[in-house]
Structure 1
Amino acid sequence: MPATTTGGADEALSVLVREALDRPGMTFRRFTEATVDPATGYRPGTTWLHKLVRNEVVRAPEPQVLRALATGLGLPLARVQRAAAAQYLDYDTTELTGLPADARAIVAHLAELDPADLPKVRAVVEAFVARRSNPGGPAGA
């Protein structure tokens, strides 16, 4: 199961914006024009965006700003949210990649379980894997 740790200085929101501005053909004006929240039409101000680029914004952006930035950056909202969490909350995440939605939902629910129950859950999962690997053999071997 591939896992990727995200967060930290190289994944900061300011860094994502600077990288976008460094792309060939990108200008600050083009970026600001594209930075619109599709849900509300909100546009962050030019001064605020300049401060973000210079890493001078001290508070985490509001959700509408993150949606606008995701649009302007051409990135998934979740990636922009993780970058904001890394920069403003010193929060690193681990993302499971290559898993179907049901598997990610199961993993998310595991965090809610009592740690004493995790060996039981593991035994159930291993029994399913064993049965799949050996369809004619006993389950849970």
Structure 2
Amino acid sequence: MPAEATRRTDLADLVASRKDELGLSYRTLASRTVDPERPDEGPQWTRGTLENLINGKPVKTPTPDRVRGLAAGLGLPVRLVQDASRAQFHGIDSIRVEGETLDGDTLLMLRHYETLSPEDQLKLRKIAEDWSRMRPADD
């Protein structure tokens, strides 16, 4: 199967939908992408890079500071942007357990999770839930 056919667009889709939801231009979104941990470094994304990302053109894998900046610019939790970035650039699905909330304690990061049968996905989630219960509370 050609690489183009299997290319994921998780981060691009997230950015495009949130950009549209907020009614932001590429330039305005770029200006908002300041990493809260390093505000003196200014915006982490340029208009052109955001446009390339959304339009499916090659961009470099985002670094942690760029992920934090993008999350800030989009007004989203960093975890959502991290999950989308891992999926698009590394093919890793982030599966949260413990009540299906973003505040869950356990995170599975798996390649090709989406290709598993629903039954196998459920088995992995059950294993993670059981493992989570075995951990000491103050880990």
**Shared fold (TM-score greater than 0.5)?**
yes
For the residue of structure 2 that corresponds to 1:22, the secondary structure is: helix
Structure whose CA Rg is larger: 1
Distance 1:77 1:28 in 2: 20
For the residue of structure 2 that corresponds to 1:61, the secondary structure is: coil
How many residues are paired up?
100
Gaps of 5+ in 1: 1-7, 109-121, 126-141
Gaps of 5+ in 2: 1-6, 109-129, 134-139
For the residue of structure 1 that corresponds to 2:80, the secondary structure is: helix
Match of residue 59 from structure 1: 60
Match of residue 23 from structure 1: 21
Distance 2:34 2:16 in 1: 17
Match of residue 3 from structure 1: none
TM-score, structure 1 normalization: 0.58
**Residues 21, 31 of structure 1: 8 Å contact kept:** yes
TM-score, structure 2 normalization: 0.59
Q: Which runs of 4+ in 1 moved over 4 A?
A: none
1:89-125 superposed Cα distances (whole Å, 9 cap, x missing partner):
011121114389xx826x88xxxxxxxxxxxxx6xx7
Q: RMSD of aligned C-alpha atoms? A: 3.0
Q: Which has the higher contact order (CA 8 A, sep 6+)?
A: 1
1:47-78 superposed Cα distances (whole Å, 9 cap, x missing partner):
22221121223431111100000001111111
Match of residue 127 from structure 2: none
Distance 2:35 2:50 in 1: 14
